[in-house]
Amino acid sequence: MQVRGKVAKRFDDDINTDYIIPAYLLQESWDKQFFADHAFEAYDPAFAPTCRANKESIVVARNNFGCGSSREQAVYAIKYNNVVAVVAQSFPDIFFRNCLNNGLLPIQVADTSTIGLGDELVIDLDTRKLKDLTTGQEHDIVATDASIETMKRGGFLGYVKERLRQRLNAQPPRAP
């Protein structure tokens, strides 16, 4: 499975989810697109228009992207601005799992310093290579088999529904 996109934004180390979507917005909507409209509102207001300018954008960062609060709205804020993947040198667990659950690809590579703004990237989940078409460089994707599987499935939901189905069918029907 291949995913392509253009690098729309680059960030440094330790971008926290408060920067991605500030707390005062979290309770104001249950609609995912709402958070995309306010992505990086206080930290980098150009984020949404810049990412939306491409059909498929990719965000590149250094270490520890998505640290801090567990708010999944941070993932909606990124994804629903036409972002297909975040490429970084490391991700904290909660953000990583939130990405997996929402079909935003969290791609870990050893060194993101040579990936430039505007570069065209191809992410190949089968060969586990990230190819920078602009520089011709190739990066190894660091991931467990399980997370590659989940990325291909677009999240856990289908799997969880199947587990629930098996469990419910193993129980006698509830008395009316």
Partner 1 sequence: MGGATIAEKIVSRAVGRKAKAGEVIEAVPVDKLYFNEVIGPPAVLNFQKDFEDVYTASGKKLQVFNPSRIAFMPDHTVPSCSIKVSQGISLIRDFANDQGIAMYKEGDGIEHTIASEEAFVLPGEIAVATDSHTCTQGALGALAFGIGTTEGENLLATGELYSFTVPETISFRVKGRFQRGVYAKDLVLHVLGTMGEGGASKKVAEYSGPTIDSLDMDGRFTICNLSVEMSARTAIVNPDKTTLSYVEAALARRGMAMTDDLRGMVARSDPDATYSKTVDVDAATIEPTVSLPHSPANAKPVSQVSDPISTVFIGSCANAREADLTIAAKILKGRKVSPSTNLIVIPASRRVYNWAMDQGLLKVFADAGANIESSNCGPCFGKHMGILGPGDRCLSTSNRNYKGRMGSPDAFIYLGSPAVAAATAIEGRVADPRKYLPAGEA
Which of 4, 10, 14, 56: binder of partner 1 (CB under 8 A)?
14
Q: Based on the shown chain and the rule CB under 8 A, indicate whether residue 155 belongs to the binding site for partner 1.
A: yes
Residue 174 lies near partner 1 (rule: CB under 8 A)? yes
Contact between 152 and partner 1 by CB under 8 A: the answer reads no
- Least CB distance to partner 1 at residue 36 (A): 15
Which string of x and - marks every residue 50-79 that binds partner 1 (by CB under 8 A)? -------------xx--xxxxxxx-x----
Reference 1, options 157, 138, 150, 156; nearest CA is 150
Residue among 99 and 115 whose Cβ is closer to partner 1: 99
In terms of CB distance, is 3 or 22 closer to partner 1?
22
Nearer to partner 1, 121 or 143 (CB): 143
Tell me if 156 contacts partner 1 by CB under 8 A. Answer: yes
Count the residues of the shown chain that bind partner 1, applying the rule CB under 8 A: 53
Contacts of range 105-108, beta carbons closer than 8 Å, 24 or more positions apart: 105/3, 105/151, 107/141, 107/143, 108/141, 108/142, 108/143
Write the burial class of residue 63 (CB in 10 Å: 0-12 exposed, 13-18 middle, 19+ buried).
middle
CB of 32 to partner 1, least distance (A): 9
Cα separation, 143 vs 5, in Å, equals 20
Among residues 3, 10, 26, 50, the one that binds partner 1 under rule CB under 8 A: 26
Residues that bind partner 1 (CB under 8 A): 13-14, 16, 18-19, 22-24, 26-30, 42-43, 63-64, 67-73, 75, 90, 92-94, 97-98, 101-102, 144-147, 150, 155-157, 159-161, 163-165, 167-169, 171, 173-174
